[in-house]
Every structure is written in structure tokens, then in C-alpha cells.
Structure 1
Amino acid sequence: MIWWQGLLGLASGFLVAAVTAPVGVSGAVFLLPVQLSVLSVPSPAVTPTNLLFNVVATPGALLRYRRRGQLGGPLTRLLVLGTLPGVVIGAVVRVFLLPGPQAFRLLVACLLLPLGLWLYVRTLRPPRRPILTDGPSPRAVTALAMAVGIVGGIYGIGGGSLLGPILAGRGLPVTKVAPAALASTFITSIAGALAYAAVLALTTPGDVAPIWALGLLCGLGGLIGGYVGAHLQPRLPESGLRLLLGTLAIALACLYAVQALG
């Protein structure tokens, strides 16, 4: 890694975390195209590098949420219970079944496009009655978290970054979802990074281990940006936070679809 790659990684980590932390997304989901296309991080090493970014970056936003008393609670525990085993399964799937970047990008596009459109429509045309008032059932959240955790392990986002848009689309306030999703992302990213670095990298040939220097620099930028973004959340309207989630998901899905099919 040369100096300009580290500087770009630091700046990119700050920008994506500052924009996405208010809605419960670590920023790894939007940092990945920069790593693949600009910084030339090989696949599948880009996935554990993104998980390393999550581990370093998310405590900044979590610290801010904790100071406001938003961190913790049953939703966080349910998300971790499902995503923690799921992200390990996803890491295995990523290495042995989806090593190529084309299939990887197409899978992500197919996942994020309908998710972003759904969140956008529900924000602009909300139902007369909210689907969830007291929160989803524990069994439903755990099952959903398990499925999303597997996808998160494949994608390198820990799972919480996908649960945030899904739960917000079901009617939960973003101010409640964001801290729980980020906490889930942090814990499961630790498990996913260890699965890649300590197990799969030792037993599988090729570029499987994370790019440590780049991941740490991106994470340092995200640590600062996440704190700034979480600080800005109370100043943003709920509808604006939802539209931001939907817009980012749709934009990334379109970008990945073009790259995968081009």
C-alpha cells in the first residue's frame, strides 16, 4: 500500500461514516466500491478488510449514542443473537462459493435494490397504521437477523447495516434502530473478521486475509466520521433519515448492477 491509498482510505472512511452513521449503517457497504475499483483490494480479501473497518469505525458512533442513552435494550440483544452465528456462516459461503467479484456484485445489487425501493415507497406513502408499534416479535427478529447475518458475512458488513433499512421499512423509528444496528454490526464484524483472519486465511489459498493497514486507516477515518454523524442525527427529521437510507441503497445497487453486467 502506498501513501495515497492510505490517505484516500482515511478520507473515504470518514465521509461514508459521517453520512451513514445517523441511519445505523457503518459505512462499509458504501466503502466497498472504493476498495474494489479505486484501491484495487483483491477479492475475497475485500470482505474481511471491510469487517476490519467496521470493528475500528463503529465505536465512534456507539460512544455518541451511549452518551444520549440510546444504546442497549432488547432489540440490540435480539439482533446480535441472530447475526453473530450468521456472519460466520456467510464468511464460509463467501470464500468457498462466491469468490468471484462479478457474482458478488450481482448478489448485492439484487438484495439492495428492492430494499431501497421498499423503504423509499414506505416513506413517501406511509401506511395508515404502523405495522410495528411495540417492536417486532423476538422470534421474527432473531430469524431475520440470522438470514441477514449470513448475507452480511458474505458482503463484509456484519449484518446490522442491512437490518437497519429492513426494520426502518417495517415502521420502527430510525432513532431506535440505528444504535441497535450499529451495535450488532460491531459485534458481528469482530466475529467475521476473526473467521477470515484466524481460520479461513490459514486453510484456504488466495487473498483471504484482510489488508490490515488499509482496513485500519479506513476504520480510523470512520471512527471520527461516525462520531460526527451520530452527533448530527437528532438534528435530522425521521423522514429525511429514511429517505437517506433508501437513496443510498438504490444508488449502490445500480452501481453494482452496472459493474456486474458490464
Structure 2
Amino acid sequence: MYFPVAGIEVNPLVPPLVAFAISLFTSMGGVSGAFLLLPFQVSVLGFTSPSVSSTNQLFNIVAIPSGVYRYIKEGRMLWPLTWVVIIGTLPGVLVGAIVRIKYLPDPKNFKLFAGLVLLYMGARLLKDLAFNPKKTGTPTTEERFHQRGKKQPQATGDETASCEHLSCVTVRQWTPTRIVYDFYGETFTVNAVGLMALCLVVGMVGGVYGIGGGSIVAPFLVSFFGMPVYAVAGAAL
């Protein structure tokens, strides 16, 4: 099938199947998978025009709601964090989209930019694996949460997703400068101003690349802000 806007010819079943496979795994970490779908479109399908970024953004809109619904149902949607991320990211995405159209229309330059973004994310993952050795002794919040999930008996319907079976996120304080919340018996404090500034920069990069920025901001939330991934995945998504 020929797609005139993209200027490519491909089996119409291939893109949705690839998108499904990618989002199936990446949604577990609080990202839609658009950051992996874009290289597939550019390098495999040959879709290199600026419209590939907007196509990728549309994928985000379609892929994200089901994951968000699941986090809301489980009580793990940290709404104050979500709004801070949105307020910081949205202006950056708009600026990034303009930069993509005006300054990076050349496929060669855009591929270089996309490669640098992927290189950065890969380096972050390798750094976390290589230089953050597993600590012995008291298990972390995430480890205890994961262990509890394994021990829970099988349940059906709403019972599975209720707070009786999965620890909910409880907001204790939400001000313009900080967010305080409880998750699985521990209290976490987040600098809202610093996070908003970070999301603004991430939004600009995401707007150029064609992603919402969750795949970039999620590692920062975990590494720099010390937040458990199980609590921030919904907001990052």
C-alpha cells in the first residue's frame, strides 16, 4: 500500500504490528515507545520528511490512554507530578516542533539528532547498570513492591487493581515548589520547580524528535529525583 504523505510503500499491517510490539514492553516503564518507533519509520520504512515527527506524536496520543487508565485503576497515578510534567513539557514540545520544521527538515541532520538522542538514552541505561551495583540488606521500595506483587493471590475484576492488592500513591502535600507523597510506606519529596525546568528542556527535545519526552524524563525522575519507577511510570507516560 502506498502512503502519499510519507512517500513510502509498505504492507499496512506492518506499522501497527511493530507499534503494538514496541508499546507492549515500553509501557511497563512509563513510556509509549515512540522513541523506538521513530527509528523504525526513518531507517526501515524510509519515512524521513518532517511529518514523521507529527506521526510519531499521534502514535503517543493513541497508545498512551490505555496505559494511563491502568495506572489510574491501580491507584498509582501521581496527579501532582503529572500536572508538573505537563506544564513543563507542553511549551517545550511546541517549540521543538517549530525547530524541527524550520531548522531540521534535512533527513541527514534529523537522523544525526535522533541518533544522538538514542545514544544518550542508551548511555544512561548502561550507566545505571554498570555503576549502580545492587545493594545488599534492606530491600528498596521497588523491590518490596515487586515482591508483594508476586505474593498476591490471583484475583478478578476490580479486586485485582484495588489498593488492597497494590499500594496506592498518596499525596501529602502539593505546593508550587514541591510535591510530597507516600508510596509503599515511604515518603518522597520532589522539587517541583526543578522538575518543571527539566521538563521544559525535555519537551523541546521531544518536540524535535517526535516524542512526548517520557522516555527521557523517566530516567531523570528515578536517578536524580530518587523516585520509584512504579510510582512515576503513570506520570511519565
The answer on 1:58 being equivalent to 2:93 is no
Is 1:160 aligned with 2:214?
A: yes
Partner residue in 2 for 1:6: 12
Deviation of the 1:101 alpha carbon: 1.9
- One-letter amino acid of the counterpart of residue 157, structure 1: I
Distance 1:101 1:166 in 2: 29
Residue 83 of structure 1 deviates from its aligned partner by: 0.3
Query: Are residues 1:137 and 2:191 paired?
Result: yes
1:148 matches 2:202: yes
Instruction: For 1:174, give the aligned amino acid.
Output: V
Cα–Cα, structure 1 residues 166 and 101, in superposed 2: closer, same or farther, change >3 Å?
farther
Once the 2 structures are TM-superposed, how far is the Cα of residue 39 of structure 1 from its aligned partner? Answer: 2.5
Residue 107 of structure 1 and its aligned partner are, at CA, apart by 1.9
Provide the residue aligned with 2:111 in structure 1. Answer: 105
In 2, Cα distance between the equivalents of 1:174 and 1:51?
A: 23
Corresponding letter in the other structure for 1:100: D
Contact 1:119 1:168 in 2 (8 A): no
Does structure 1 residue 175 correspond to structure 2 residue 230? yes
Q: Give matches, 1:191-230, under 5 Å.
A: none
Shift in alpha-carbon separation, 1:45–1:114, aligned structure 2, 3 A: closer
What is the number of equivalent residue pairs in this alignment? Answer: 180
Structure 2 equivalent of residue 188 of structure 1: none
Pairs within 5 Å for 1:117-132: 117-126=123-132
TM-score, structure 1 as length reference = 0.63
Q: Give the whole-Å Cα distance in 1 for the aligned partners of 2:67 and 2:23.
A: 9
For residues 232 and 117 of structure 2, the distance between their equivalents in structure 1, rounded to whole angstroms, comes to 20
**Equivalent residues in 2 for 1:27-106 (5 A)?**
27-106=33-112
Identity percentage over the alignment? 44
- 1:102 CA drift (Å): 1.9
Cα displacement string for residues 133-192 of structure 1 (whole angstroms, at most 9, x for unaligned residues)? 72431110000000000000000101222111222232321112211011xxxxxxxxxx
SS at match of 1:136: strand
Within 5 Å, which residues of 2 pair with 1:183-194?
none
Q: Deviations over 1:57-104 (max 9, x none)?
A: 111111111111112421111100100111000000000011112222
Whole-angstrom CA distance in 1 between matches of 2:54 and 2:105? 13
Q: Which has the higher helix share?
A: 1
Give the CA RMSD over aligned residues: 2.3
* Structure 2 contact 77–232 (Cα < 8 Å) conserved: no
Measured in 2, the distance between the counterparts of 1:108 and 1:135 equals 33
Do the aligned partners of residues 9 and 115 (structure 1) sit closer, same or farther apart at CA in structure 2, a change above 3 Å counting? Answer: closer
Unaligned runs of 5+ residues in structure 1 are 183-262
